[in-house]
């Protein structure tokens, strides 16, 4: 049974089209469905896709998500650089907006 408050289903599995198109895939699906939130599967795992200002506010809500220790130290040192924006929580991230 589908609940009324469930986001629309864009496709059963989207790994290949997302890998092929990159981030524009998300915007294209949002435009096609007339929404900023949709569901699909990514590598066969249920996934929610979001875009827009409200999605960014939700994503950077420190009560819901933390970027601390999200990436291994070796990766931070070589790919991001220590202190990179990828590892900052909202107060540090704000300086990049």
Q: Is the pTM of this model over 0.85?
A: no
DSSP 7: P
**Residue 13 pLDDT exceeds 60:** yes
* Cα-Cα end-to-end distance for the chain: 41
**Residue 96 pLDDT exceeds 50:** no
The span from the CA of 64 to the CA of 27, in Å, is: 24
pLDDT tens digits, 54-91: 998 888 787 887 767 766 777 666 766 666 655 555 55
Which pLDDT does position 41 carry in this prediction?
96
For the chain, the 3-state helix, strand and coil shares in percent, each to the nearest 5, are 45, 15, 45
Which pLDDT does position 95 carry in this prediction?
44
For range 41-49, the mean pLDDT: 95
Q: Is there a contact between 33 and 15 (Cβ–Cβ < 8 Å)?
A: no
């Amino acid at each position: 049974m589908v609940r009324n408050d469930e986001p629309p289903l864009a496709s059963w599995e989207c790994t290949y089209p997302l890998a092929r198109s990159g981030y524009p895939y998300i915007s294209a699906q949002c435009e096609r469905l007339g929404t900023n939130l949709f569901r699909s599967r990514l590598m066969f795992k249920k996934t929610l896709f979001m875009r827009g200002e409200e999605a960014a506010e939700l994503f950077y809500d420190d009560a819901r998500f933390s970027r601390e220790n999200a990436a291994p130290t070796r990766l931070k040192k070589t790919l991001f650089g220590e202190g990179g924006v990828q590892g900052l929580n909202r107060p540090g991230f704000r300086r990049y907006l």
